[in-house]
Amino acid sequence: MDKNKKPVSAAKKQAEPIKSAPAGKIGEFAFGKENYRLMLLGLFFIAVGFLLMIGGGSDDPKVFNYELFSFRRITLSPILILAGYVIEIFAIMKKPKD
């Protein structure tokens, strides 16, 4: 044991009291109404994008269907999905109005 160290008294050993959260902050949601609306809008864009991507296959494996490479599946659908993800990120990062 080090001789230079002084023993800690019992009064100093007690932990500081735990500070509670302000009364107005308990029970509140992390996001506001507008955040949730934007999240639903983003989910809608993503769902529509994936729905537009469905189909285009052929029943006969020997026959190639050029509908697989339509504008809707190759361009429009990925744009909608990416827009949905951007909306989702914006909805999460936006500060709710208090």
pLDDT tens, position by position, 19-67: 665 655 677 778 889 999 999 999 999 999 999 999 877 788 888 888 8
**What stretch of H or E contains 38?**
helix 33-53
Q: Which residue has the tokens 């007690």?
A: 14
pTM: 0.68
Going from N- to C-terminal start, the domains of the chain cover 28-93
Confidence (pLDDT) at 58: 77
C-alpha–C-alpha distance, residues 12 and 35, integer Å: 47
Structure confidence by residue, pLDDT tens digits, 3-31: 676 666 655 556 667 766 565 567 777 88
